[in-house]
Structure 1
Amino acid sequence: MRRPSSPGPHKSTASVEATPLLAPQSEGLASYTSLRDQPKPKPVTWASLPKKGQLAVIVLARLAEPLSERSLTSYLFYQLKWFNPDLPASEIAKQYGLLTATFAAAQCITSMWWGFAADSPLLGRKRVLLIGLFGSAISALGMGFSRSLSLAFFFRFLVGALNGNIVVLRTMVSEVVVERRFQSRAFLLLPMCFNVGVIIGPLLSGFLADPIHSMSNIFGPGSFVGGADGVQWMAKFPYALPNIASAIFLVMSAMLIILGLDETHPELRHQPDPGRQLGRAIVRLFKGSSEPDVAYEAIPRDDPATPRDSHLIGDEEDARAAEPEAKPSTPFRAIFTLNVCLSLFQRFLLAMHVSAFSTIFFTLLPTPKEDSRSFDLPFRFSGGLGLSSKSIGLANTTIGMIGIPLQVLLYPLLSGRLGARKSYLVFLPLSIVAYCLLPYLVLLPADNTALVWTSLSAVLVLLVTSRTFVTPATMMLVNDCAPSPTLLGTVHGLSSSIASSARIMGPTVGGAMLGWGLGHNFVALPLWILSIVAVANWAVLLWIKDLDMDE
């Protein structure tokens, strides 16, 4: 077919002939020059993060929970022993695991529903956060004043059921920090708070637990505060004081959210917030400023102080045209895209092998060493490291102490260059190496303390370095897979429920495998199985859509 020689409808022949030949080139040169002269975006730093005040409130809200939860690790064993002094240590260890599983099971059941509630305009993000913090405070008080195992189970289930805050906080971070180039650092703030809680929580609760004996010169018999008989309620409830401290911190965080955090729900963010108005008034009072709070509100159409003639017809049409149209809500079935399913699956696998490793790791540390004469190296051996409780606490603190410098210094340098998925792909194998090396630590001589701690620290560096990059990346992958902003909280809630189910299965299966390995001279087997699960976790990442590459 012969191509027509006549010009298209948008440009006549005369206009084509009248156009200078060099016009396109000069226009392209001008465009290139204007692009070249534009200033390059400044590098992302911690100081350049937008909305630092809102992020600070979110950080404090997140810090309240690990402070409360991790404080249990210092005294829960002794509290369970106090419930029934006749129980052997093996039975107390089972109760400890069941209490942990109860918390995870409650979160598994309710996390998705809290995500629904946060996405609903009836509650929104802020109200769900407040329910979680006040619920955690009530549960902490109940746990501290419990005198039986059944009450302890009830309050552990209650705190898991009422607390969907991590779901909402992840959603709010993505809504407060909209620009993606800032999100890698913003999402890192949440695991950083967890590491701070890992360090501070156990130390604080260990100092406050059983104060009649741990601080006898202050609260015990004959002390200034306790008098002749000591503080009676502390003697009756020896583990109430650390829980009271946790409850106070949780309530303070809730008040800070009421006064200082903006609602980020798309349908509620522009509505009046009495709590924020009061917070701004308090700030003005302390600053000594009498200027009114600047807030823009819609002028009522029937305002008598506004003459109708003052509005031109054209202005009204422009205003109506500028108003955003109400978008229909996205149905729940739209959530199950391939990318969402893969992102949730990687979240499940990660939570599975991480939680199982934690159970195996903190069980191997105190397990006594076995006689090496029964070993059949390099695969058949058994036993643990034989560390004391103080050394186990030091190992727990070491994890937090390694993590914070990595998160502050190393992560910002590499995460922006690699992106979320590539960071995940590059650093997850470090966890696999740590899983494979850990069982061989039981072969080290117990009397060579320097060698044991050097080797243990090396494994922990590999593990913590991996999680420093993987944890924020998995949050961002889940956040990016949401098919609609109206389903963002629901996706995070579903992700949290799936991760909670993995945290039920991981410690249960990991503990059972470790028990079998210890009994059959094959202690490395459960850790090698975890390595296989982690490799599957890595393979799933290859199929997940990479938003950084798309952009």
Structure 2
Amino acid sequence: MASSHARSSSNDFTSTVLLDPIRPRKTQDQLDGTWLPDERSIPTLDEVDDANSHSSYDFDSQRPLTPATPMEKTQAKFSSGPVTWMSLPRKDQLLILFLSRFVDFLQVASLQAYAFYQLKAFDDSLSDAQISQQAGVLQGCFTGAQVMTAIPWGKAADASWCGRKWVLVVGLAGTAISCLGYGFATTFFWAAFWRVFGGAINGTKADEEAGNVSRTMIAEITKEKKYQSRAFLILPMSFNVAGILGPIMGGMLADSSKTLPGLFGEKAVFGFQWIRDYPYALPSLMNAVSLSIVTVIVFLFLEETSRSRQHKFDLGLHLGSRLKAVVVGSEQADDYARVPTWEDRAMGNFQDKHIPAELKPAPSLNRLPFRRLWTRNVLFTLLTGAFYDFHLGAFGNMWSLFLSTPRYLNPTRRSSEVHVSEPLRRHLPLLFTGGLGMPASTVGVATSFLGSLGMLLQVTLYPPVQARLGTMRSFQWFLFLFPVAYFVAPYLSTLPSWSPPPEPASGGFIWAGIMVVLFLQVMARTFTLPASIILLNNCSPHPSVLGTIHGLGQSVSALFRTVGPVIGGWWYGYGLDIGMVAWGWWGVAAMSALACGTAMGMHDGSGHEVFLEGELDGME
């Protein structure tokens, strides 16, 4: 029975209805405009196309957020089961996007583990406060360059001459080149230059909030709201996986002739001279290799999601299909072919090959004017995102600096050779200074806990809590954990240690304190980061400006992730100078408290709150 339907070419849709168990097989029009199961009729392909053509979010739009037509309501009704990872649409494409974000985050995470010591190697005459300020500038260079290029990259992603896929390919390849240059830099100027180059060409946005292009592509792949909480979760998940591996890789491979002398020492099998001449090149080289590999994967196998380019020839996909045919084999039964599924129709990927190209409907040309984009929800979402990205960017920089900063020396036994000025003395609970004095390898391990905790919370706690609270309440409630984490963080330097200063801090109290601070910060980030992406996506007033909204979001995010590390590094360095290491931490805590306040002015939008001329008529 099934084979006869699969062979039929005259009624593909009917055969799909009979073969696809999740498709509503029989429906009937009701007086209220809804469709309900019925034993008398089966929807035809013409009926489906007619229903789709009257959708307020038709398949030529960016993404339908709510069912507006009988067919969309039927789809929602019959696909209302529990959402699991296996039920996500286009898992192959989501996996490729996961890999692209992973390697992009990896190069950022690995750099943070050894940045303090690399800058110290450039000029060992600089003080710890000056190194802290340079580290903030170095991190800000990458995101600062993104501020200047975010809108052009966003427009290129929406344009028919470029598209999302090519922005992703160019960004990954360009970041690989910047990693090579950064690894072999010998001065602060050239290190900053290559970070600027990487940020300018990286339209994918290498931070934990995820990139403009990746966000948009996920939104266009998972058009139904019920899939979004899990689909968008792959972005912070990729950050957490990279957050586990990146710091460990960076900490172990930095100055590898000393950290791994058995492999990279002078007489070891990999003891090349260039490794000793450029002690911080090896982590960057590994990042460049991983970025290059994923660039090839994206080029060959990632499908374009922009409607303006989906009908154009894709050389990468053509070569990728040829490669899969060679590797996997292309032999198939002559009488059988893949039957389009309901998922293909719902995602807008089905194309009727029997309809001539000139008769296919052209994409809608209606576009919301830029001046009408600035709704109240858009403004509050961008403002909250500004404070949010400021403190996340500042924390990433200050945490690695705090772990690397030498410990406070207690001047109880003062001698004539050692003089400690009064401002640098400890006067708890406010005036105290010093960090934990950990080496790069230990900094990498401590920083990797960010990713480990995040991964654990995302897999175990996030799904049930988010399902119970919803996107908006999850975002607003868990924001309040950030100020608490930042307020208690500097007190780690006052905990008892098994080793006396200036040795690195160690012992049960130190590591327990680290875990408490990271648990608070990661718990807050786990619940707010996916929600912030969804809320930005849904605040778009019209589907035609979804790419522009993400471009604006990336600009605001990049700007404040630039300002955050720079100002946070300056605050931290100033605190070291005046003997108050908490100065920087509490300043960042104040910024996170502002984000809690502005988040109260947000709401979870529909993605289509502004209607253009003729759109309401099409819904009737």
Q: What is the TM-score when the length of structure 2 is the normalising length?
A: 0.73
DSSP 3-state at the match of 1:352: helix
Tell whether 2:503 aligns with 1:453.
Answer: no
DSSP 3-state at the match of 1:194: helix
Alignment of 1:125-204 (within 5 A): 125-165=164-204, 166-204=211-249
Q: Aligned-pair distance for 1:153? A: 2.0
Q: Aligned-pair distance for 1:176? A: 0.9
Distance 1:114 1:193 in 2: 22
Distance 2:545 2:279 in 1: 45
Match of 1:69 among 108, 124, 128: 108
* CA-to-aligned-CA distance 1:321-365 (integer Å, 9 cap, x gap): x72563234333333222211111111010112223344444444
Q: Aligned-pair distance for 1:426? A: 1.7
Alignment of 1:70-469 (within 5 A): 70-84=109-123, 90-165=129-204, 166-218=211-263, 220-224=265-269, 231-291=272-332, 323-324=361-362, 326-365=364-403, 366-369=405-408, 378=429, 380-389=430-439, 390-447=441-498, 449-469=507-527
Verify the 8 A CA contact 1:119 1:486 in the aligned structure 2. no
Q: Aligned-pair distance for 1:290? A: 2.7
- State the AA in 2 paired with 1:159: G
Distance 1:300 1:479 in 2: 34
Partner in structure 2 of residue 533 of structure 1: 591
* CA-to-aligned-CA distance 1:240-267 (integer Å, 9 cap, x gap): 3332221121111111111111100121
Q: Aligned-pair distance for 1:232? A: 3.8
Partner in structure 2 of residue 493 of structure 1: 551
Verify the 8 A CA contact 1:364 1:383 in the aligned structure 2. no
Distance 1:282 1:181 in 2: 35
Cα distance change of structure 1 residues 70 and 387 upon mapping to structure 2, 3 Å threshold: same
- State the AA in 2 paired with 1:435: Y
DSSP 3-state at the match of 2:330: coil
Q: Aligned-pair distance for 1:122? A: 1.4
* CA-to-aligned-CA distance 1:89-133 (integer Å, 9 cap, x gap): 554444333221211211121122211111111111001001101
* CA-to-aligned-CA distance 1:494-522 (integer Å, 9 cap, x gap): 21221222122223333333444455565
Verify the 8 A CA contact 1:75 1:206 in the aligned structure 2. yes
* CA-to-aligned-CA distance 1:368-399 (integer Å, 9 cap, x gap): 23759965555x33124534225433321111
DSSP 3-state at the match of 1:542: helix
Match of 1:52 among 91, 102, 105: 91
Match of 2:602 among 520, 544, 548: 544
Cα distance change of structure 1 residues 539 and 224 upon mapping to structure 2, 3 Å threshold: closer
Say which structure is richer in helix: 1
Cα distance change of structure 1 residues 73 and 517 upon mapping to structure 2, 3 Å threshold: closer
- State the AA in 2 paired with 1:96: A
Q: Aligned-pair distance for 1:529? A: 4.0
Verify the 8 A CA contact 1:385 1:442 in the aligned structure 2. yes
Verify the 8 A CA contact 1:370 1:382 in the aligned structure 2. no
Of stretches 124-133 and 531-540 in structure 1, the one that deviates more from structure 2 is 531-540
Distance 2:595 2:173 in 1: 36
Gaps of 5+ in 2: 1-30, 39-72, 205-210, 339-349, 413-424, 499-505, 610-620
- State the AA in 2 paired with 1:382: F
Match of 2:534 among 470, 473, 476: 476
Cα distance change of structure 1 residues 149 and 375 upon mapping to structure 2, 3 Å threshold: closer
Q: Aligned-pair distance for 1:289? A: 2.4
Distance 2:583 2:129 in 1: 22
Of stretches 187-196 and 331-340 in structure 1, the one that deviates more from structure 2 is 331-340
Greater Rg, structure 1 or structure 2?
1
- State the AA in 2 paired with 1:436: F
Cα distance change of structure 1 residues 372 and 491 upon mapping to structure 2, 3 Å threshold: farther
* CA-to-aligned-CA distance 1:118-175 (integer Å, 9 cap, x gap): 1111111001001101101111111223343332222111001000111101111111
* CA-to-aligned-CA distance 1:420-446 (integer Å, 9 cap, x gap): 211101211111222233344444333
Distance 1:177 1:40 in 2: 13
Distance 1:513 1:87 in 2: 17
Cα distance change of structure 1 residues 375 and 252 upon mapping to structure 2, 3 Å threshold: closer
Distance 1:130 1:396 in 2: 29
Distance 1:368 1:323 in 2: 68
* CA-to-aligned-CA distance 1:263-295 (integer Å, 9 cap, x gap): 001211232322112222322333322349979
RMSD of aligned residue pairs (Cα, Å): 3.5
* CA-to-aligned-CA distance 1:185-242 (integer Å, 9 cap, x gap): 11111111111112212322344344555555555544456xxxx5344344443333
Cα distance change of structure 1 residues 181 and 375 upon mapping to structure 2, 3 Å threshold: same
DSSP 3-state at the match of 2:461: helix
Verify the 8 A CA contact 1:181 1:416 in the aligned structure 2. no
Of stretches 75-84 and 49-58 in structure 1, the one that deviates more from structure 2 is 75-84
Distance 2:190 2:241 in 1: 29
Distance 2:384 2:221 in 1: 25
Distance 1:399 1:417 in 2: 25
Cα distance change of structure 1 residues 59 and 40 upon mapping to structure 2, 3 Å threshold: closer
DSSP 3-state at the match of 1:330: coil
Distance 2:230 2:96 in 1: 16
Of stretches 122-131 and 410-419 in structure 1, the one that deviates more from structure 2 is 410-419
Verify the 8 A CA contact 2:151 2:555 in the aligned structure 1. yes
Of stretches 52-61 and 418-427 in structure 1, the one that deviates more from structure 2 is 418-427
Q: Aligned-pair distance for 1:298? A: 5.7
Distance 2:569 2:274 in 1: 37
Verify the 8 A CA contact 2:537 2:607 in the aligned structure 1. no
- Percent sequence identity over aligned pairs: 36
Verify the 8 A CA contact 1:382 1:517 in the aligned structure 2. no
- State the AA in 1 paired with 2:550: H
Q: What is the TM-score when the length of structure 1 is the normalising length?
A: 0.81
Distance 1:279 1:131 in 2: 18
Alignment of 1:19-30 (within 5 A): none
Cα distance change of structure 1 residues 55 and 82 upon mapping to structure 2, 3 Å threshold: same
DSSP 3-state at the match of 2:86: coil
Distance 1:397 1:77 in 2: 17
Cα distance change of structure 1 residues 516 and 89 upon mapping to structure 2, 3 Å threshold: closer
Distance 2:485 2:280 in 1: 36
